[in-house]
Structure 1
Amino acid sequence: MVVSRQAILAPCVVCLCALSVSWMQSPRLQALLKNRQNIPLATLEKEIQVEKLRLNLLKKTPAFGYDNLMANWAYLNFLQYFGDDDVRARTGYSLSPEYFEVIIERDPRFLGTYISLSTSISLYAGMPERSIALMEKGLKSLKPQVPEKSYYVWRYKGIDELLFLGNAKASQQSFTSAADWASKYTDEESKYVALTSLRTANFLRQNPNSTYAQISTWGMILSNPVDNATRKRAISAIEKLGGKVITTAEGLNQIIFPPKD
């Protein structure tokens, strides 16, 4: 009898999730993606409030074992939201943390989302405290090798702590953890991350106001696949700190540090 009920309930749950997805992806929201320029600001703000209500509901909705599906769907909706440059220029990025509240709650091991979390919330929405709090929450479910190369979350956290909060001590601890986790791997990428993270942590330990450490941290942002606006901001910050960014013939960014730290 129990097996029979499970057999009946399973497809029902799938259908419920599919219907929920369809409901969240409302026609009005889709229409806004096609033509933004002439839409009144009041209409856009109203749509944002509706989307916020949907996200709040999604946080509370039972997943019935489909947490990954909910996290994936929230991330796809975030990408749609974040990529709508015309509207974001008018309304800002205040919903960014709401998407990641859902994602981290449902699937904290969704490693690929953390770079978007850090960039969109700290850099664009101007809420580094929420970005760091979300990463701290996610890190409780991570281990050095689960998921693979999860040391990057410590790196993103250290970047936000140093560049956006000016908390050198917390950043030093995060980079130390990144180096420790990365050192458990033997591939070249992980070795490089371990070395540079430890070097940054040592810079911050010896000199909390290290210009070199700040330039290196902005360089870490540049080393990630970022959009043009983020790239320009990172280069501008490096130049203000006395450094210089040169693009090599291979298309790589090379940082020239100032003579003195």
Structure 2
Amino acid sequence: MLMSRQSIVTPLVVVSCMLGIAFMQFPRLQKLLNSRQYIPLATLEKELQQEKVRLDLLKQTPSFGYDNLMANWVYLNFLQYFGDDEIRERTGYSLSPEYFDIILKHDPRFLEAYIALSTSTSLYAGVPERSIALMSESLKSLSPHVPEKSYYIWRYKGIDELLFLGDAKASESSFLMAANWASQYEDEESKFVAFTSQKTAEFLSRNPNSIYAQIATWGMILTNPVDEKTRKRAIDAIEKLGGQVVINPDGTSSIKLPPQD
């Protein structure tokens, strides 16, 4: 009977803690994000500061063993935050890494979170060093098969290092790790990732300032399941580098490289 009570009480404690923190600060932000009327920037900044306080508190909140629950719940909070384009255009995306600091702390195996981390933190918040640091720390807890196809995390890290930090050497190392981890799988998708990652690393080794490598890396972003505004940013970046994104008759896209690297 004692064990039964504990099994019931513990999750209730976890949920109560999470809801308690949310109710302290989140309702006003929720109301704000759902509003489409004009709100003074000072008010928006005040509300976001309150959300920052809530996230800081969540970083210190124990999960009592329910890490996946905490990670999923905070990820849903992030999606709501990131998806409000109207508000984000006025206030920016500075809280993005704060969400993922919590998410990946509780569940570094949350593979789907990493592409959102890279996009929101490197591309939109403009702090790729935070994205890379969070991925680097989480990778210490992972292996080629934990989680399945975790090699993608090395790819995301390599993309951020090359495109947003201009660190070709670090990017080369990340793509080599992606190739190594992907080569341990037998499916066609993994074989393709292993091949392209290896070739990207070799290309960076020979020509670390290659425009072709940058275009190809932006192209990797296009192959991921990203939102439309991220897709547009990637296409714009490719075009600024002299490349061209061509939409094929079957709906797929390909990239036409400039005449010279």
> Does the TM-score normalized on the shorter chain lie above 0.5?
yes
Q: Any idea what SS the aligned residue of 2:113 has? A: helix
Aligned runs of 1:130-141 on 2, under 5 Å?
130-141=130-141
What number of residue pairs does the alignment pair up?
258
Residues of 2 paired with 1:226 and 1:245: CA distance? 16
Residues of 1 paired with 2:34 and 2:52: CA distance? 20
User: Alpha carbon RMSD of aligned pairs, Å?
Assistant: 1.3
> 2:33 maps to what in 1?
33
Residues of 2 paired with 1:99 and 1:34: CA distance? 19
Q: Is the 8 A contact 1:104 1:137 kept in 2?
A: no
Q: Is the 8 A contact 1:37 1:86 kept in 2?
A: no
Work out whether 1:15 is the aligned partner of 2:12: yes
Identity of aligned residues (%): 67
Aligned runs of 1:1-261 on 2, under 5 Å?
4=2, 6-23=3-20, 24=22, 26-261=26-261
Q: Any idea what SS the aligned residue of 1:108 has? A: coil
Task: Render the CA deviation track for 1:44-82: whole Å, top value 9, x for unaligned.
Answer: 111111111111111111111011111111100000000
Q: Which is further off, 247-256 or 127-136?
A: 247-256
Mark the runs of 5 or more structure 2 residues left unpaired by the alignment.
none
Q: Is the 8 A contact 2:74 2:102 kept in 1?
A: yes
Amino acid paired to 1:165:
L
Residues of 1 paired with 2:147 and 2:241: CA distance? 35
The offset of 1:28, in angstroms, is: 1.9
Amino acid paired to 1:124:
Y
Amino acid paired to 2:219:
G
Q: Which is further off, 171-180 or 238-247?
A: 238-247
The offset of 1:250, in angstroms, is: 1.8
The offset of 1:240, in angstroms, is: 1.8
Residues of 2 paired with 1:10 and 1:128: CA distance? 41
Q: Any idea what SS the aligned residue of 2:246 has? A: strand
Q: Is the 8 A contact 2:52 2:95 kept in 1?
A: yes
Q: Is the 8 A contact 1:121 1:131 kept in 2?
A: yes
Residues of 2 paired with 1:236 and 1:29: CA distance? 33
Q: Is the 8 A contact 2:179 2:194 kept in 1?
A: yes
Mark the runs of 5 or more structure 1 residues left unpaired by the alignment.
none
Q: Is the 8 A contact 1:151 1:181 kept in 2?
A: yes
Amino acid paired to 2:161:
E
Q: Which is further off, 122-131 or 250-259?
A: 250-259
Amino acid paired to 1:18:
V
Residues of 1 paired with 2:231 and 2:41: CA distance? 28
Q: TM-score, normalised by structure 1?
A: 0.95
Q: Any idea what SS the aligned residue of 2:245 has? A: strand
Residues of 2 paired with 1:251 and 1:20: CA distance? 47
Q: Which is further off, 214-223 or 34-43?
A: 34-43
The offset of 1:43, in angstroms, is: 1.8
Q: Is the 8 A contact 2:163 2:214 kept in 1?
A: yes
Residues of 1 paired with 2:18 and 2:29: CA distance? 13
